[in-house]
């Protein structure tokens, strides 16, 4: 539709020029319907001069609009969206399976993991201890109270709590246990101290190797080696005596002079206070059996019993932790 006005006649307002909007679109017409409105030339300057965008004439004049109604894209039945809910449920199912395969890592679990590792400094080097793997063997070292005047600590080392060498990860466990023993020793000792080594009721497969014991001695801080006043071995076996004899060239003569052998708990009680020392039940039972065997051996010796030699062998077997 072309709309024009004769010259000299006043131009109608924009409100009068605006056509009445149709109530509906007639899409059934065979010929395309076009609506064509003529707009004046536009000056893109920002002043309000004649022909400018901001001029009053341009603000009231309609733009030229060419709309082809038939070319408008309208949705048909083929493009209609059908919601069945199947895809959403499948997606939720897949996401549920993924959430089950990857559980959420909570803050409590993170704190628990942090408690399973301990960072220590040994020999001016930072070391990490796997506390979870050594949890069953932490009883191997304990504080046995004090002796004499001052803070002279008694450190108890129970070999019966050591891991079995048949473990597949035996070396890994012993490595972490070694770091735990050394770091714990540094925390327990303030001044002079002594070590009570409970050797009884320990099978050969649980006895620490020569290399492990040598490493322990070498990694002990100089302060700890200097402040060690006594190293008491309770229920010494032939095996532990042999190990100490072999390692004698690697240790100082001062340390060798601190080693003492004690054959019974009653003898140990005559050297140090036993109030705070925890003795494992297996060692208490062994001590009773050894005392009974020793009394029987003395009685047999008085009567020149020929079974004396077998009793001596039985005592040695009990010291080694064998039935």
Q: Which of 205, 277, 191 is nearest to 234 (CA)?
A: 277
- Strands lying side by side in the sheet with 153-158: 141-146, 153-158, 193-198, 228-234, 259-262
Helix axes 308-319, 281-302, angle to 10 degrees: 170
Give dist(CA 98, CA 111) in Å, integer.
25
Which distant-in-sequence residues (6+ apart) come within 8 Å of 173 by Cβ? 133, 134, 137, 163, 167
Which distant-in-sequence residues (6+ apart) come within 8 Å of 86 by Cβ? none
Q: Which of 207, 269, 204, 205 is nearest to 234 (CA)?
A: 269
User: Is 286:235 a contact under the CB 8 Å cutoff?
Assistant: yes
Residue written as tokens 């208490």? 284
> Cα torsion for 83, 87, 93, 95, to the nearest 10°?
-110
Q: Which of 106, 87, 90 is nearest to 98 (CA)?
A: 90
User: Is 143:103 a contact under the CB 8 Å cutoff?
Assistant: no
Question: Which residues does the chain have with pLDDT short of 70?
Answer: 1-105, 109-115, 300-323
* CA dihedral (168, 170, 176, 177) positive or negative: positive
Q: Which of 183, 189, 259, 197 is nearest to 227 (CA)?
A: 189
User: Is 146:153 a contact under the CB 8 Å cutoff?
Assistant: yes
Chain centre distance of CA 242: 41
Q: Which of 173, 168, 169 is nearest to 130 (CA)?
A: 173
Q: What are phi and psi of 95, to 5 degrees?
A: -65, -30
Give dist(CA 88, CA 57) in Å, integer.
56
Give dist(CA 147, CA 73) in Å, integer.
98
Residue written as tokens 């000792």? 189
Phi-psi map region of 137: left, alpha, beta (phi>0 left; psi -120 to 50 alpha): alpha
Say if strands 153-158 and 193-198 run parallel, antiparallel, or are unpaired.
parallel
Q: Residue 156 in 3-state DSSP? A: strand
């Amino acid at each position: 539709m072309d709309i024009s006005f004769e010259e000299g006649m006043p131009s109608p307002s924009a409100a009068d020029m605006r056509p009445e909007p149709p109530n509906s679109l007639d899409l059934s017409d065979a010929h395309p319907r076009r609506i064509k409105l003529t707009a004046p030339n536009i000056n893109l300057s920002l002043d309000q001069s004649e022909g400018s965008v901001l001029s009053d004439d341009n603000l009231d004049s309609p733009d030229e609009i060419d709309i082809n109604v038939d070319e408008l894209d309208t949705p048909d039945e083929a493009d209609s969206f059908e919601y069945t809910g199947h895809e959403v449920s499948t997606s939720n199912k897949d996401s549920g399976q993924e959430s089950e395969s990857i559980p959420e890592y909570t803050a409590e679990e993170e704190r628990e993991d942090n408690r399973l590792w301990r960072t220590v400094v040994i020999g001016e080097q930072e070391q990490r201890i796997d506390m979870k793997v050594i949890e069953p063997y932490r009883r191997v070292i304990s504080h046995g109270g004090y002796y004499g005047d001052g803070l002279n600590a008694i450190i108890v080392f129970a070999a019966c709590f050591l891991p079995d060498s048949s473990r597949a990860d035996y070396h890994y466990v012993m490595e972490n246990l070694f770091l735990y023993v050394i770091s714990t020793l540094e925390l327990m000792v303030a001044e002079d101290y002594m070590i009570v080594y409970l050797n009884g009721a320990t099978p050969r497969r649980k006895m620490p190797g020569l290399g492990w014991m040598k490493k322990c001695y070498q990694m002990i801080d100089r302060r700890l080696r200097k402040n060690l006043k006594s190293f008491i071995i309770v229920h010494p076996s032939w095996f532990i005596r042999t190990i100490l004899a072999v390692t004698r060239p690697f240790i100082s003569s001062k340390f060798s002079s601190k080693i003492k052998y004690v054959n019974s708990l009653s003898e140990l009680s005559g050297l140090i206070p036993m109030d705070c020392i925890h003795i494992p039940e297996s060692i208490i039972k062994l001590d009773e059996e050894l005392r009974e065997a020793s009394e029987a051996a003395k009685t047999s010796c008085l009567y020149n019993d020929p079974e004396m030699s077998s009793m001596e062998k039985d005592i040695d077997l009990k010291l080694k932790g064998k039935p």
